[in-house]
Every structure is written in structure tokens, then in C-alpha cells.
Copies of this chain bind each other. A is one copy, B any other.
Amino acid sequence: MLFQSCRELASQVAQLLVVRASGHLLDSEREFPLWEISNSELRSYLEIGVGGVILLGGHILELEVRCKSLQDYSSGKILLCADIEEGLGQRFKGGTSLIPPMGLGEIYKKDPKKALIFAKEYGICVGRQARLCGLNWVLAPVCDINTNPANPVINLRAWGEEPFTVSALATAFHKGLVSQGVLSCAKHFPGHGDADIDSHLELPIINHPIKRIRDLELIPFRTLIKEGVSSVMAGHLLFPKLDSQNPATFSKNILINLLRKELGFEGIVVTDALMMGAITKYCGEGEAAVLAFEAGADVLMMPRSPEVAIQSICDALLSGRVPNSRLEEALQRRNQALEKINFSSKKNKSFFFENPSLENDNENYLKNKLVFETLKSSCQKKIEKVVNGINFISIDDLPKSQILTKNAPALSIPSSSGFRSLICHPYAVSPWKDDKLNPLDIDRLGEVPIFLQIFSRGNPFVGANFQEERWNQAIQQLQRQQLLVGLAFYGSQYLFSDLTKLLDPSIPFSYSPGQMPDAQERALAMLFESRHMNNEIKDFNLTDFTD
């Protein structure tokens, strides 16, 4: 009998967990097998009551099959979520890839009305595609204000650099998102924008006084809470003026006194991933789950071991360390959120079997229009054909199919003008030599015309991979040696604007905040001759987007 009631308790606690799974069908295809639970484990977790799954990777067709299978494994309704901040294509192949939110922040500076319309369409695109694939909870919008250009993890993910832009755009995005019947999430509370280290690796400390936090960091969260955002994600962030001991994830003062009482939030409080370095370096995994739950978190994201998290929370409840009311309110908030999801059309048929394309015309237009609106380019004279040039491409990681396939414009367009591609990534032979003023080893590359393409943005986990100092010197070196014929930069506006300060005005360049093939194509069409653009953008008309 005791055993029975323990099992019931464990099953209730399990509902509060979100476990991580690959969006790929097969275990062997998992991209992060250390973190992504195998299919058989996933099934048994869901059968004992685990209440949510966060998905990453794979094709949209796999995602649809996954969401259906995962829901089938559970006897109750489950939360199916993903970090979709920049279009479904950011996480799942075949979905639409949009430029990052910061691009809309830039449009907002010039034309707020236009930017707000775009942001709402952006939310509709994310919400619609997520729902059609079977997800019901989108972990967006990011409500952080990127006040620190050197922020290694938020950066382009933010909607802007000051609170009112972020509030306005995140709200517009949110309206679009929730119109599609999925849950939303404001993150990372109380604000990750001024961090200077990556919380995936270490715990950032943000030492602002309370007044500044109220007047800046909290503004977008306050607005989103008024908009009825479904959930707020607590960041792994230490704000000593709010709580000198605990990161927000574990802080009653931040989650209860600030978020619930002062801001009046009544939805789900969810933690950021409990397996992130900021947490695991400082406390054991069972204790992390209990501390977050005790402090007021209703849903626990990605505990390293779901069993340990469940057991530790059960122990804390049974021992009286945490009152039962905590469990009751968390379950109630989860149930209230689930009620808002439209589960009505019981998914027995594949969407894709009847509709081979996910992206609709509106979304395709939005995608290309946003690339067009955020492109920066200067080109007095198109880059001429050469006999033996180098298309020198720098990327942060192994060439990925979403960015660089054989057929990517970043390879094919310069190639048709005589530039052979040379891709430099962390796993390739280095192009650098030990000479600060002339860091590029030109002997190795050959003294030939060089077209330079750099893909770089603040990426989680990667840290400060982009060596600014070296690139600044390299660009000056190439100019001195009269080898640089052009530059395309995809990603961080901050890194780009530093580089352009060094560029000779005669050197043609293009910049896009997006890195996807559509962005490459448009950026390069500005620089190279005689290339047919696949995606002509008609004149923009605000009535193109109708509610």
C-alpha cells in the first residue's frame, strides 16, 4: 500500500519533468547521445508518467512521427516542446529558417511599424509550423535585452538592445505565436542579456542594483506576463542584489517574491536545462531538482537523470522538506496550460502525407523579405571572374547541411566566378601562422585573389570561438597584399561592424544576420555578376500580411 502510494507520488512528480530527446527516429542518428535519451528509455519514462519532452534535431517529417509516438507512449497529455526562436528550420530540417530576432530589432530602429508586423508574422510562422509537426510548447520569445555586445550566448537571439524594442517585438511575436494554439515561454528570467559568460558552461553573475533590473531587464517580462505568456523560464543567472546565494533557478526571492508576487505571474515557471554547466558544476543533480522545485519552479527541464530527480523530489516531499502544496500547485498550473492546447484533432493522419510542403507562401515571402530588409551591402563594382581564386570560408563548426552543402550558394556562386572553395573549420588544417601582423599563411593558400566569407555568431557552448584580433589583422594583411576582392559576413552584427571599420571602401561586402542558404544567395547576388536570383522579392506592401 505504501509502495502503491509511492508509485502514485512518483508518477505525479514525473509529470513535472521535461526530458530531452533527439528529433531523429533512430537512436543511432542522435547527434548528442550523451544527452539524448534512447528510444527505449524514453518510452519507459513516458509510461511511468514523465510529462514532457524537449526535441532537437532531425527532419520535420521525423518530428511529426516522433511527436505522435511520444504522445502514444503516455497515458496522459504531454508537453512537447522545442527551442524554436528563429523558425522551425533552426532545429528541424525542412522547417522555415528565419533571420535571428536581432535582425528585426535593426528594422525596428528605422521602421517600428514594419518591424512589428514582421514580428507577428514571425510568431505565426513559428507557431503554425510547430503545431503542424505536433509540438505544443514553443520555448520563445527570448525576453533578454542584449545590452552587452560581447554576450556569448544571447546576442542575435535577442529582439534588441534596449527594453522597449524587445518588449514591443517580443509581444508582437507572442501574439502571432499563441494565435496558432501553442504555449509560449518568456526567457530567461530575470534577464540574460548582460551576461558575459555562457551559462551552458559557467554561472554568469550580473551585479546590477534592483532599480536598474526593474527599469531594464524586467520590462519585457512584465509586458509578456500581461500578454498572458504561458510560462517563464528561470535562467541560471546569479543576481547578487536579488539573491546573494542562489541563481534565479533556485531563488525563492526571484521566483516567488519577484516573479509571482511583484509581477503577478500565474503560469508555469520552468527551469532552464538542469544539465547545464552553470548548475552541474555547483550542485548534485538530485539536489538541483529539489532546490528548483522548492524555490517555486513548476516544470523541471532536462534533469541529467530523470530517475534521480523524481526520487529526490519524492524524498523531499515525504520528509516534509517541501510542502505538498508545492506539488499541487505545480500540477495544477501544468494542467491549466495543457487545457489551453488544442488537442482536438486527434492525430491519426500524417500532415505531410497529404501536404508535401510545410512552408506556405506567406512564410516563404516573410523569410525572403526579412533577408532582403536586413542585408547590408556595398559594391561599387561587381567582383570580376578570375582564373584561380580562393573562396575562403570560415565557419565555427563542421560544415552542416543546413548552412553548407555542396550546393550552398556560399560555395556555388563564387565557384562560378572562378573561386575554388576552401572551408576552414575547427577540424581542418589551420590557415594561420604564428605572425601577429600577418596571421594568414598566404604561402599555404597561394598568392591569389581571395573572396572571404565568415559565418560567426554567438553560439551556445562554442564560447568565444571567433578570434577577432586575428581576423582584424588578417583583413589588413589581405588588403596590404592586395589579395582581398570581397567579404561576406553572416551572423553577428557586432563582429561584422568591427571588421568593416578596417575595410578599404573599394572592397565590396555584404552582411546578413542570417546564415541560411537564402541569406547566402541574396548576399552574394549583390557582389557577383550574372547570377539569376531564385527568389525575387516583389515590392513590399504592408497589406501582404493579413490577419
Contacts and interface: CB of A to CB of B under 8 A. Distances in A.
Given A26-B357, A64-B353, A398-B399, 5 more contacts: A28-B517, A31-B406, A59-B93, A69-B356, A429-B429
A255 B356 CA distance: 40
A538 interface: no
B357 A349 contact: no
B429 A356 contact: no
A517 B24 CA distance: 16
Nearest to A33: B407
Contacts of A387: none
A353 B31 contact: no
A501 interface: no
A280 interface: no
B427 A444 contact: no
A61 interface: yes
B427 A422 contact: yes
Most chain B CB within a 10 A radius of its CB, from A61, A65, A399, A401: A61
Interface in A27-50: 28-33, 39
Given A94-B29, A353-B68, A429 B431 contact: yes
A141 to B, nearest CB: 26
Given A61-B65, A421-B427, A405 B353 contact: no
A304 interface: no
Contacts of A69: 356
Contact of A429 (B26, B93, B406, B430): B430
Given A94-B29, A405-B31, A407-B33, A65 B427 contact: no
A66 interface: yes
Contacts of A30: 407
Contacts of A445: 429
A305 interface: no
A545 interface: no
A351 to B, nearest CB: 10
Nearest to A58: B59
Nearest to A25: B356
Interface in A419-459: 421-424, 427-431, 444-445
Listed from nearest, the 3 A-B pairs whose CB atoms lie closest are A61-B61, A429-B429, A428-B428
Interface string A322-364: 0000000000000000000000000011101100110100000
Contacts of A205: none
18 contacts: A25-B94, A25-B356, A26-B357, A28-B517, A28-B518, A29-B94, A31-B405, A32-B407, A59-B61, A61-B61, A68-B353, A348-B353, A350-B352, A397-B406, A422-B428, A422-B429, A430-B444, A444-B444
A353 B406 contact: no
A73 to B, nearest CB: 11
Contact of A353 (B28, B39, B350, B397): B350
